[in-house]
Chains A and B, each alone.
Chain A
């Protein structure tokens, strides 16, 4: 005879991923690494932006990249051609990276102590927002071809990100894109989000991006020292 029992569980659905992400984060902090998780729609310009940024940043510190894509390894090749180590993860049917994939991929990279790890997530504005990878913070890249109201259509990803990079500003004269409006919409969803406007094609705005990265490095160092006290 069977008896129906009620079992209390009270567990977060993403518990398992969150646990692995916490391990990754501890590892990244021990290695004194800044880790940025880049999210966007397909084609917003993440890889183009990374190729330019890593080519310049590699002169002053260790830089590595983990590339997520459902099928191909073209993006990792583009990064490697810029002279920076890159590991490709093919997620297959999965539309996002998870913390376990990042833990494995990180072990396949050379030691980046004191440097920066960029993670290019799968081009998708929904699922990646839910998955903590152990990153220092998330960065959402959004191009001016996508329309000002993207932050209202996909609020989760903008709420989860510390920085919004508005890309392809070189096309501004061709498109009617209201930067002020895009920022206003993003701040409705996340009043604290930082904003930088760039062109990954021409390099416009990248000085501001590097200054922002340096501020994150300073912030991380201070947090680390405070903890050590």
Chain B
């Protein structure tokens, strides 16, 4: 019996600006623990839009979203923020680190926010994640002084800090060269194999998708193969 981490049930989404455009139509799928799932599809088919809904950041949709078997639809903003903090890790295409902080502090922030461990413990865990990703040397550097590939690895370390149920990525390798994107794939692969980490990654990169456990293919706001 596999444990369900994420379930999307009949999700519809449309934009009303300036005219009503249906972007997602009846999206149904689920992700089980330890799965490495990729979402592919042509540009503009609604992948990012779907991911923002699944990540609880976008609440303006129809249908139901369950994370860890708990219904997210209709929950309060503060409550959803807590879910994102505790159960979801993010990796974006444009690394999105806080430039005011060091690499280490960037990784620590969601951990400090969760407030489950003491600051010293969070720091220790952050160092472990950085070591695992082979970037512990960068720990005390300022976040805006490191390379794009390094930034993406820092973002992954940050996503991991609270041991989330699922890591979501919107084209995390989209902005990287072949060598760096292979590195990122290797990290993801290791996370599923060694730590049974659940991953849901949107990608354009066909070779990247083919190496994952499962591909969800989208077209015009619908899932065409799963």
* Chains A and B form a bound pair: no
